[in-house]
Chain A
Amino acid sequence: MIFRTLIIRDLVLATRIGGGGALAVGFFVVAAALYPLGIGPELVLLRRIAPGILWVSALLSCLLSLDRMFQADEEDGTLDLLMLSPFSPTGLILTKVFGHWLTTGLPLIIATPYVAMTFNLEYGVMMTLILSMLLGTPVLSLVGAVGAALTVGIRRGGMLLSLLLLPLYIPVLIFGAGSVEATLFGIGAQAHLIVLLALLLLSLALCPIAAASALRLHVRS
């Protein structure tokens, strides 16, 4: 199937060129590790600020690789081929988003336990963090695809992309960090996680269509 081909292509491209996944994880680990180093071994304080810091770091590292999501294909003419393909653009975009999540979101989640240790998070809290990231990072990729599609024709559009996307990432940040805090304070994280799930389903339904329209608009201009 073409969707498998496209995912394999994006994964192979990401691993052969480097860039993408490894860079995002590296940034996440380094950015998050700077706080314990800067603040010092204040265990209580670190535990208190960990949810916010880890989620903000995840958000920023996700942004790093987004601007190339469609731009590389636009520059060499592959985007025309994608648009001419008999497969629906929405499906192709969903596939590319999944590829982006596999190379960015998933590695972040795998790295999270190691980073969480530096913040003195215990097992239960860390599990909530991982669960919230499992639900939240796909939203970052999905919403990011719309931003990447809108800025596909702009060279060095990374800054604009950040300005465009960071406000849209706020709900994920609030409920992602909120779920971890709720577990930290022992009041249960179900409510936050359910809202994250709702955000995921909503963006899963809307973002591929919006990104496809943005790409079509770009190709036809």
Chain B
Amino acid sequence: MLLVGEGLACVRGERQLFSGVDFSLAPGDLLFLQGANGSGKSSFLRLVAGLLRPAAGKFLVDGEIVAPDWEALQTQLVYISHHDPVKPAFSVAENLVFWMGLAGKGIAYKRGTGGGLVAEDSHRALEALGVAGLADIPARLLSSGQRRRLNLARLAAIPRSLWLLDEPTVGLDAAADRLLAGLIASHRDAGGLVIVASHTDLGCAATGYLNFGHT
């Protein structure tokens, strides 16, 4: 997948956050978004995801303009926002299985020991983030770092080529930081694209930077 943005502008409220942003991502590339709080990094990610629409400019996927319904992009991305959409009443595994279903991933259900629904791939994804041992406990008992890990397990559970990560390391400990860096590295090796906004160095080399200024 080849993703190109040309002359992108974003207006929220009456305020223009940025304009004339160009970027280009080839397989294996990582675009690093820098900038002060409120400079438009999160809005930029929402723009790529199609949750916001650009005031000007366009996106091209493999040379084709992303149509108004954004389907060409939305079916190929995983978006990790600063919210963790974890339902406290569900178990850890149930949360992940629901997200997988919502992303349109066909899952082989089997009855788990806890009586809940357990999918085989979800277990592997939880393992990748080091929370497989928590699979059957209710998510309301998770710490904020564990909730974050569970949310990030979507990256491993849902195979998509474009990852949009908004401050993915908030609340993570050093071990989880390394797990995430490893996930990102293997995703890029497999030809995946990553756009990440972060204030810390993620431990992976970026191929491009976008600076939103106001620093």
- Give residues in A with beta carbon < 8 Å to B: 2, 5-6, 9, 12-13, 16-17, 73, 76-78, 80-87, 219-220
Contact = CB atoms under 8 A, between A and B. Distances in A.
Interface of B: 49-53, 71, 74-75, 77, 79, 81, 83-87, 89-90, 98-99, 101-104
A16 B71 CA distance: 35
Nearest to B75: A86
Contacts of A76: 83-87
A78 B52 CA distance: 16
Contacts of B101: 2, 5-6
A120 B74 CA distance: 57
A16 B52 CA distance: 34
B85 A85 contact: no
A154 B160 CA distance: 33
A2 B99 CA distance: 10
Given A5-B98, A84-B51, A84-B74, A77 B84 contact: yes
A83 B75 CA distance: 11
**Residue in B50, B101, B103, B104 with the greatest tally of chain A CB atoms within 10 Å:** B101
B85 A84 contact: no
Given A6-B102, A17-B89, A80-B79, 11 more contacts: A6-B101, A13-B89, A73-B85, A81-B99, A82-B102, A83-B51, A85-B103, A85-B104, A86-B75, A86-B103, A86-B104
Nearest to B81: A77
A77 B85 contact: yes
30 contacts: A2-B104, A5-B102, A6-B102, A9-B87, A9-B90, A9-B98, A73-B85, A76-B84, A76-B87, A77-B81, A77-B85, A78-B85, A78-B87, A80-B49, A80-B81, A80-B83, A80-B85, A81-B102, A83-B51, A84-B49, A84-B74, A84-B79, A84-B103, A85-B104, A86-B71, A86-B75, A86-B104, A87-B104, A219-B51, A220-B52
A206 to B, nearest CB: 21
**Top 5 A-B pairs, shortest CB-CB distance:** A77-B83, A16-B89, A5-B101, A78-B85, A77-B85
